Structure 1
Amino acid sequence: MALSQDDNQFIYHGFHKASMHLDGFAKIHSNGLLQLTNITERQGHAFYGFPLKFNTSSSQSFSFSTNFVFAMVSDSVKLTGHGIAFVISPSVDFRQALPGPYLGLFNCNNTGLSKNHIFAVELDTVQSIDFGDIDGNHVGIDVNGLISVESAPAAYFSNTEEKYISLKLASGNPIQIWIEYNGAEKLLNVTLAPISIPKPNKPLLSTQLDLSQVLVDSMFVGFSASTGLPVCNHYILGWSFNKSGHAEDVKVSMLPSLSSFSPATPKASKEPRLIVTVSVVAVVVLLIMIGGAVYILRRKKKYEEIYEGWEREYGPQRFSYKILYKATKGFKEKELIGKGGFGKVYRGILPSSNERIAVKRVSHDSKQGMKEFVAEIASMGRLRHRNLVQLRGYCRRKGELLLVYDYMPNGSLDKILYSNTRPNMNWIQRFWILRGVASGLFYLHEEWEQVVLHRDIKPGNVLLDADLNGKLGDFGLAKLYDHGSNPQTTKPVGTIGYMAPELLTTGKATTSTDVYAFGIFMLEVACGKRPMEQQGCVVDCWRRGAILDASDPRLEGTYAEDQMELVLKLGLFCSHPNPAARPSMRQVMQYLDGDAKLPDIPSDNVIDFFTATNGSSDILISFPSLLGTNCSQIMSTSDSILIEGR
């Protein structure tokens, strides 16, 4: 209820009968609890029902203060997403905003624009590399975009212990936050604490900020929350705001209860009792009920799925088969956008949000390591990088697994690269695709919490968004292991032509074997030739002192020669038959960004250098055209091969 409310301030202990503008999932429960998202709706907004007048022309009077109590409750102990933001905005129209890391506030085209006039304090539970997030549990101050002006890991200052104590935002427990802005001093303070703790003496964040340059005279105040593949229920229990002074303290004892809304506390099911009588009417009713039940069961059979108890840990990432069936119009052939050795890919539109998705149907024996497979999918779903195709979730039905991805409107790189159009893709587009994929691989190898081996890098697995940005996708063969440990030896998997020589002999995939495949990929993009046609050609051109002759003739010389030379030479270094001679992806990024120079190899020593291996058999695989073999005919398939079971 609202204890007080006027033109300058208001306070709500619960939101029953509150004057609020709601959209998305946002709803007010009967006990006054405000819920912004749940496990099916990906974003929600709740704003005070009327705009407030901020006198931004006078910094002396342009001050505000707010405190509110929030809670983030997830079905999973390990996974959650994405967060809540307190927002001051000139509009409550967020129809173009995206969920997930965009927090329901921005999209990929407008984040960071000064014309947004949006101020926010984010409570973020997923680390988004694109926005420079410091970790997956932080508080950030945002101005017009999602790259925070200042941020800090979530914590509160203990007045008794005189130190900061870490605080898990998605603990499921109510947490109170104070946001105070002093226009005269241009100082913003953000303070956090559990509701059982009085307001700490020291804020978590304190930064100089001139909001008079950001906000306009008429602004809305409220909340935005969003979730992504890891999902979360976001709640606001109480809220106090004052636009010209100190906000009243929220009284914890008056807040609505959260316990009955926690997904971790399922409500007891009630089985209806069927009272059987001997009357004719009862018999008729019973027959009708049975007939209806048969109809419902037959209809449900159409969408029947496999669901096991252990999947509850990964449940938030699971889509229902019914939703995916409707999204793809029943997996009709006209919605088919690709197929390969592991299944078919269909375009689709989610009915609830009209978002475009790609759905991959993978045949799989559910008895072979399915638990481990889904656990790995759950891990892949937490990868966040601008040059990786985002995996949204999965669905299991009978003998197949369905994987849901972001939709890439321009399809795979190989389809454009090998089209007959001239001038085809220009060099600038190709170079930035190469650099983008390199950046994504560097993230997988070194920057994420585990090492991720992709094991199938090729143009067919690089997808292009609307702006032709390259995104590495199809993690069906990917393998994860902890930093500092050694990956286990397995049977070799991948695509012939992109598989490192040692992988075929030892079966051990490493970051170096990924680098090898990336080197082949680089040469393919630069030369416009399939793997078995390129390396020997590039080596020979380098030996003759005319390495640019190996470039794709469709480019017709419209490229920066120094960039082309760098890519051709770096492609050879990455695909060297000797793993010890290959650079790491960190070094590859340094070379591409001009922060380091490639080793200088004299042209008369090129062939000797690039055929120096630990065994002569490796040369046949790496440089078949140098030796006049017919390997290009034998190993020309572009389909991924899978020898080990998954």
Structure 2
Amino acid sequence: MAVALKTAVIFLSFVSAVAKLQQFHRTFHTFNKTLEEQATSELNFQNYALVNQNALQLTPDTANNNAVFDLRNRSGRVMFRQPFKLWEGDANSNDVVASFSVSFLVNMFPVNGTPGEGLAFLITPTITIPDNSYGQYLGLTNQTLDNLTTNGILAVELDTVKQPFDPDDNHIGLNVHSVRSVVSRSLTPLNITLAPPEPKFHNVWIQYDGVSKVIRVYIADQPLIDSPTPPMPETPIIQYSLDLRKTVYRESYFGFAAATGTSVELNSVLQWNITIYQEPRPKSLALTIELAVGIPVVLTLAALGAFLGYRLYKKRVVDRSKSNILSRLRTLPGMPKEFRFRELKKATNNFDEKRKLGQGGYGVVYRGVLPEDNVEVAVKWFSRESLKGEDDFLAELTIINRLRHKHLVRLLGWCHKNGKLLLVYEYMRKGSLDMHLFTMAGELLSWTMRSKILAGVASALHYLHYEFDQKVVHRDIKASNIMLDSNFNARLGDFGLARALDNEKTSYAEAEGVIGIIGYIAPECFHTGKATQHSDIYAFGALIIEVVSGQRPGTKVNGFQFMVDYVWSLYHEGRILDVVDKRLGDDYNADEAQRFLLLGLACSHPIASERPKTHTMMQMLTGSTPVPQVPHFKPAFMWPAMMPIDDLSQATTINTTTLSIS
């Protein structure tokens, strides 16, 4: 990193010497200060904006629009407290005005599946948000102020609701004095969806050249919150000639605004980088030409130098780190066998396609037979051709090697050779739970089998959360990760996402954005970007309903987007047993089924602190403890919510990876 920083400093010093710019620069890699600290330092918060869970949350949101606290038709702003001088002289001068470069990472998520309304980067003469600036006004203007040239507003909007003057409900626009964009572009042709039903992140770059007086806007998806920032696209999605002198006030504020309308969505900024070059008045045409030609060239060289320096530094550090980790792994007590690659190649018949058990985004699993012992195994080959693949491999190996429980898939060995990364597991003859629930290849699971499977998974989860010497958050509880042995005993597997936590200090594991399958993901994860024991419990609740009903969590039934909402509606109507898998007929225990479904709803409570603990879940499954009182209406998800008592300790950041073979 020192190489990169030194390179950047040298080039930026050269930029300053050549252009003699008055530069303001801030980089927020995260927003980890408290609201009070931020508000008393550089940022001003208006209306419903706040800092929460390492992000600027500009508007409140909820998973239930019928919440007691109505979060519709709200707006918020976050602005720098200090104004910036953007031009000199009078409004009719042709002098050079300020240049600026802004980039930020946003997350816009409609919890109920209906977006509303959007977010904008903003330049404004006043720090105060207008009254009634919700809905289509995006926290920028209101019915009175909109389209007045005196309002001095310039904004780049990310809009998720179509107005009569908009191209669609998924566009980016440049707004001058009005929410009616002077130019807008639909993002749909680029396969970019601002507020999709699955959580996504978007990088936005805004560059204004005060010499040529042109503004350019770029946008690109970023899969996960801490994935590498994608390169800025070569072609801007918006390019527009604009004279700041004739658009904004001499002194203006920079920041963000957002609003909700009749629908509610999460509008948050997770990272923010801003540089403002406050240009002095040029002394001659020659200086103007120097600035016009020199600045872009030097800035490009600066960026290239910093990038190359950082890449070199990162490669050296990672290579050294991986070598040390592998050396330590070989000496860990209880470490399973280290296989040679040729052994596994022979065991799987040269990784024959016919031996393939499953495949996901991070690897392939093959069935194999170890010739020496004639033992069947499952061999997972990590297929990602990047350093991230090693992260996945090492994370899974270092955690699961020490876990010992009858309801966890047992690790038998590993292989790391010349970039080839493989793990060897005990082979589960009956395959995965989802195969039996949803495919013709499986067999119909009896009620007794289903009951036994749920009890086994609950026992494994309790071991991970409380009985192992470190708390372990699995982070990927789902039917495809539940393996079944020859007697249909459940074995929880796939620990590529699992993370070990310090029992004394940590109850949160840092997540790469939001990982998993919609329906299993707890609502708070879309705000925190973190997984906890409580989010594991939420996923187990989805699994309970899935096993009892024979329907995936994301199945849409009777107008409900998720099975949990449908089950809650049946519970309210006194018909909860209507959801039991029809293939069972009457061959199930009605009392158990009702108890299981109520436990599933209790685990699916939108408020994390209201969910049961694993030891209580185990007792409820056996009937030794009654299921807690479950409200007949699904409670509203409220954010920010009080952090559960056992999560109040200071969290230690744990680096994470994503891995899911499904």
* Range class of TM-score, shorter chain: 0.3 to 0.5
Name the TM-score, length of structure 1 as normaliser: 0.46
Task: Point out which structure has higher relative CO (alpha carbons under 8 A, 6+ apart).
Answer: 2
Name the TM-score, length of structure 2 as normaliser: 0.44
